Amino acid sequence: MEFLYITIAILLAIIIYAVITYFRIKKTVTNLTQEQFIEGYRKAQLIDVREPKDFAAGHILGARNIPQSQLRQRYKEIREDKPVYLYDQNGARSGRVAIFLKKKGYNQLFQLQGGFKQWTGKIKAKV
């Protein structure tokens, strides 16, 4: 019986954490459809937060690769005074990156809804 209570407590903690994270992301970053993303990303800093191998396999034309794993060391490469357009593979990582950047003083944060796997626009890939 004690095992059941512990399991329920752990599941409840995971659910609460997921809900809090969801609302933090929603408050921090603006989700954009592909059309909205295309309208603004040329006037902004376009950042792909996937790992280099994924970036090399294909990325949105004009994007810079600053992987989430390197963000703590490289975030100062991103200007605070210009909008930041983020994307990853499916939309999960870019939200966490936005929370980190918000803590560092960035305010104009946008992410591609659905991530790169939903992208149907122009891409560049290393051959």
**Residue 111 pLDDT more than 90?**
yes
- Under 8 Å between Cβ of 99 and 28: yes
State phi, psi for 126 to the nearest 5 degrees.
Answer: -75, 135
All structural domains of the chain: 2-124 (3.40.250.10)
Q: What is the pTM of this model?
A: 0.83
According to the model, what pLDDT value does residue 127 have? 61
How far is the first Cα of the chain from the last one, in angstroms, to the nearest whole number? 58
Alpha helix ranges (H) inside the chain: 2-28, 34-40, 52-57, 71-74, 93-103
Average pLDDT over all residues of the chain: 92
CA 41, CA 30: separation in Å to the nearest integer? Answer: 13
The predicted-structure confidence for 53-88, as pLDDT tens digits, reads as follows 999 999 999 999 999 999 999 999 999 999 999 999
* Confidence class for position 47, pLDDT limits 50, 70, 90: very high
